[in-house]
Chain A
Amino acid sequence: MFTKSIRWRLQLWQAFLLVCILIGFGVTAYQLNRTNRLSQIDAELEHRLSALSGDVRGRPPFGPPPGRPPFASAEDAPKERMPLGPPPEHPPFEPGHDSPFPRRPEPDSRAPRGRMEDFLETREIRLAPRTLSLFDQTETNDFYFAIWTRGGNLLKRSTNAPADLSLPVRLDALTGIHPRLREANREAYQFTEIGECVLVGRSIASDLRATQRFALWLITAGGAVLVIGLGGGWWVAGRALRPVEDISAAASRISAGRLSERIDVADTDSELGRLAAVLNSTFARLEAAFAQQKQFTADASHELRTPIAVIISEAQTTLARERTAAEYRETVGVCLDTAQQMRRLTQSLLELARYDAGQESIERRPVNLAERMRAGIELVRPLARERGIQIHSNLVPAEALGDADRLDQVITNLLANAVHYNRPNGEIRVSVLPENGAVILTVADTGQGIAPEDLPPICGRFYRADKARSRANGHSGLGLAICQAIVDAHGGSLEVASQLGVGTTVTLRLPSPLDKIPPPP
């Protein structure tokens, strides 16, 4: 499923965010625009409404209220003021006519109610020219107005007022301006103090259409932005992820077999560069491990082939003709020795292989290294005596956690080497000493020594410094390699120091828990 792809996920998230942002932005813009328009229209309506209301109330729309200083111009002055007293009778005002009589009602609470009512119901309203100009039909702003009496009868209306005017419902006793939207008309109305209703309105159909067009434009623009954004995002994601593809392909190739290849790292500091570097170093280690394994296998098979050749050759020669019993015995003896040599070799190889695979379980018990060294010395003493070699020891009781048998193996090997590679009547110095958190074992001999170029690989598998001699004695070159493996498994270290013609010293260091070290004597 494509939801597994990072690229697709990035894309979906990006789309989601973009859509949210675009919707938010679009809605806000639309609302703002709409509100702006409406408030603008409302302001205009209010303006006209105020003017109209002023006229209806009798107050001059522009200029100071009655009793104030004279007007700035004659035009501003009301044409006539309503005289106090009962107004003359007049025919009811007919809707549709625009020129009102110059009459202006003045609210007079002292006037008798009934006649006031009639008056109010039928009076004529005179509008100032300026007010009228606000409702000028020749312009495109087609404002209309309507005035209702207290009784709900339409008193006056502009010619362009729509046919479906309706008296607004009075919600409260206040005389504030209320806007309303009736179909495609925006109206503002006001109830005067005497209950008359003045309404100004305007068709906002065109505005609504404009708003709709704006909305459409927003949607289109938003869509375009979305498409561009997604397209751009896809491209960017593609570019960013391409190195991942490259690395993945290179890594597959390398792990499929071409271990000497490496991932090409152009930009080493980026996140992917670091990833590639890590992968490369892993491959390098893998390659080295494989090479070592190959070498080991080749060496091992070589080492085994020679003893097999000996046995076959010996047997075939002996069987080629009649032999004496002594000859047969000798041949059989050679075959046996060689077979045992092979057995030791395969055992060593298996051991090394197990250490390599980490399968050897090392016991962790307290081992008294001084005791084990003592035992080892006793083992090799007869051999040493044969060659006149003296063994001197300095053994301080010291304990380490480990596997007694395996450590015995190491000790025996080191001591045997010291005897074997020593000169006749030479010396061996052995010591076991505790140190901070460790036990140090040293075995030093006065033998032929090891050449400096042979020292680094001396613990390597099958490495023999003196190739001819040791082969003759059945040494396979694995002794030190196994010691190294055992020591490593114990978390210790093995070091070989030597001087040609002087002697060799092997230093073994095993970690020891502090509380196990006995106090110095």
Chain B
Amino acid sequence: MRILVVEDEPRLLSNLAKALREEGYAVDTADAGDDGLYKAENCDYDAIVLDIMLPRLDGWEVLDRLRKQKQTPVLMLTARDATRDRVRGLDTGADDYLVKPFDLTELLARLRALIRRSAGQARSKVEVRDLVIDTRARTITRAGQAVTLTAREYAILEYLVLHRGEVVTRTELYEHLFDESDDTLSNLLDVHIFSIRKKLGAELIATRRGQGYGIES
């Protein structure tokens, strides 16, 4: 999953990015409204964490303009907690609203929920054949047995599971799993897919030649 964080306080921005990456997300950052809008319009993020008080273009504006083009889930983050502001945020198109100072674990949980919801997934546990994927604990259980996957492998599997029944192109996988800060050595998709097949069975992920991968629902 790829997340965009738009926040002007630099320490907070870097900290959030770090925390999210440690959770297995690919994270892009922007410290001003116009930058954030540009990135959001040009990439399909799985979720956006958006601060309101931003230089050059404030959060309201970014959200408003983004919604004309994309339905990316947006979690608004701000120090303004008046009900009026919350309502405004939610009505303008935000999917959730979190007040600073916030609890990091709460932020992560809400992000997970956002992503799940946008994939049409109500609960945090997904079952595919004999696999149980706990998106909250980031664990896989196969026929009751826990299976260990690397962070990258888990991310790829989670994405394919949440988009099961669809064909996910390689480009899409690239876009959603690697952020701009990634160095190129770690993004060999094929290696990861191979490793997943080895751990979970070859029939789980189907390959469509020339198109991409997919998990059948």
Residues of chain A whose beta carbon lies under 8 Å from any beta carbon of chain B: 298, 301-302, 305-306, 308-314, 316-317, 320-321, 334, 338, 467-468, 471-472
Does A467 contact B55, Cβ atoms closer than 8 Å? yes
Among B9, B18, B105, the one with the most A-chain Cβ atoms within 10 Å of its Cβ is B9
Known A-B contacts A302-B79, A317-B22, A468-B56; the reply to A310 vs B105 at CB < 8 A is: no
Contact A308 B101 (CB under 8 A): yes
CA distance A467 to B9 in the complex (A): 11
Instruction: Check B104 against A313 for contact (C-beta < 8 Å).
Output: yes
B100 touching A306, Cβ below 8 Å = yes
A338 x B19 contact (CB < 8 A)? no
A309/B101 in contact, CB under 8 A = yes
Q: Are A468 and B15 in contact (CB under 8 A)?
A: no
CB of A302, distance to nearest CB on chain B (Å): 4
Which 8 pairs show the lowest CB-CB distances between chains A and B?
A: A468-B55, A305-B79, A309-B101, A316-B104, A309-B100, A467-B55, A317-B19, A308-B101
Contact with A along B117-138 (1 / 0, CB 8 A): 0000000000000000000000
| B32 within 8 Å of A (CB atoms) | yes
CB within 8 Å of A: which of B139-170? none
| Chain B residues positioned under 8 Å from A298 (CB to CB) | 80
Q: How far is the CB of B24 from chain A (nearest CB, A)?
A: 12
Q: A471 vs B79: C-alpha distance in the bound complex, in angstroms?
A: 15
Q: A310 touching B12 by the CB < 8 A rule? A: yes
Q: How far is the CA of A468 from the CA of B6 in the complex (A)?
A: 13
- Chain A neighbourhood of B56, CB < 8 A: 468
Give B contacts to A, CB under 8 Å: 8-12, 15-16, 18-19, 22, 31-32, 53, 55-56, 79-80, 100-105
Residues of B within 8 A of A313 (CB): 12, 15-16, 19, 101-102, 104
Query: Is B105 a contact of A316 with CB atoms below 8 Å?
Result: yes
**How far is B105's CA from A398's CA once the two chains are assembled, in angstroms?**
60
Q: How far is the CB of B132 from chain A (nearest CB, A)?
A: 24
Majority SS of interface residues in chain A?
Answer: helix
Chief secondary structure at chain B's binding surface:
loop
In the bound complex, residues from chain B placing their C-beta under 8 Å from that of A314 are 11, 15
Beyond A305-B101, A309-B102, A312-B102, whether A320 also contacts B19 by CB under 8 A is: yes
11 A-B residue pairings within 8 Å (CB atoms): A305-B79, A305-B100, A309-B79, A309-B101, A312-B101, A312-B103, A314-B15, A316-B19, A317-B104, A334-B15, A472-B8
Please indicate the chain B residues that have their CB under 8 angstroms from the CB of A301 in the complex: 79
Nearest residue in A to B53 (C-beta to C-beta)?
A302
Residue contact B100 to A308, C-beta cutoff 8 Å:
yes
Q: How far is the CA of A313 from the CA of B11 in the complex (A)?
A: 9
Given contacts A310-B9, A310-B11, A313-B104, contact A321 B22 (CB under 8 A): yes
Question: What's the least CB distance linking A297 to chain B, in Å?
Answer: 12
Decide: A317 and B18 in contact? CB cutoff 8 A: yes
Report the Cα distance A306→B78, complex, angstroms: 9
Bound CA–CA A313/B18 (angstroms) = 10
Task: Write the nearest CB–CB distance from A476 to chain B, whole angstroms.
Answer: 12
A142 to B37, CA, bound (A): 124
A472 cross-chain contacts in B, Cβ below 8 A: 8, 10
Residues in chain B near residue A317, CB distance under 8 A: 15, 18-19, 22, 104
Q: Which of B10, B53, B101 has the most chain A CB atoms inside 10 A of its CB?
A: B101
Chain A min CB distance to B170 (Å): 31
Alpha-carbon distance between A320 and B19 when the two chains are bound, in angstroms: 9
The CA of A302 and the CA of B9, in the complex, are separated in Å by 12
> Measured between C-beta atoms, what is the minimum distance from A180 to chain B in Å?
101
**Contacting residues, chain B, for A309 (C-beta < 8 A):** 9, 12, 79, 100-102
- A302 and B10 CA atoms in complex are apart in Å by 16
- List 17 extra interface pairs beyond A308-B100, A309-B9, A309-B12, CB under 8 A: A298-B80, A305-B100, A309-B101, A310-B12, A312-B101, A312-B103, A312-B104, A313-B12, A313-B15, A314-B11, A316-B103, A316-B104, A320-B104, A334-B15, A468-B31, A468-B56, A472-B8
- Contacts A302-B53, A317-B22 given; indicate if A338 touches B11 (C-beta within 8 A): yes
B-chain residues with CB within 8 Å of residue A310 when the two chains form the complex: 9, 11-12, 15
Q: How far is the CA of A316 from the CA of B80 in the complex (A)?
A: 22
Q: How far is the CA of A321 from the CA of B19 in the complex (A)?
A: 10
B22 contact set on A, CB distance < 8 A: 317, 320-321
Report how far A302 CA is from B79 CA in the complex, Å.
5
* Bound form: Cα–Cα A334–B16 in Å: 14
Residues in B with CB closer than 8 Å to A302 are 53, 79-80
B104 and A468: CB pair below 8 A?
A: no
Q: How far is the CA of A305 from the CA of B53 in the complex (A)?
A: 12
User: In the assembly, what is the distance between CA of A310 and CA of B18, in Å?
Assistant: 13
Bound: A120/B109 CA distance, A: 148
CB-CB under 8 A from B100, the residues of chain A are 305-306, 308-309
- Report chain B residues within 8 Å CB of A305: 79, 100-101
Q: CA separation between A472 and B105, bound complex, in Å? A: 26
* Cα separation A316 to B107 with both chains bound (whole Å): 11
**Min C-beta distance of B100 to chain A, whole Å:** 4
* A264 to B: closest C-beta gap in Å: 30
Asked if A306 and B18 sit within 8 Å, CB to CB, the answer is no
Please determine whether B103 and A471 come into contact, CB atoms closer than 8 angstroms: no
Minimal Cβ-Cβ distance residue in B for A302: B79
Q: For B11, what are the chain A residues with a Cβ–Cβ distance below 8 Å?
A: 310, 314, 334, 338
Closest Cβ neighbor of A327 among chain B residues: B18
Cα-based distance from A301 to B104 in the complex (angstroms): 20
Cα separation A313 to B15 with both chains bound (whole Å): 7
Collect the chain A residues with CB atoms within 8 Å of residue B18's CB.
Answer: 317
Cβ-closest chain A residue relative to B105: A316
Chain B residues whose C-beta falls within 8 Å of the C-beta of A321 in the assembled complex: 22
Complex: how many Å from CA A320 to CA B105? Answer: 9
Expressed in whole angstroms, the Cα–Cα distance for A105 and B56 within the complex equals: 139
Distance between Cα atoms of A338 and B9 in the complex (Å): 11
Q: Bound state CA distance, A471 and B9, in angstroms?
A: 7
A346 to chain B, nearest CB (A): 16
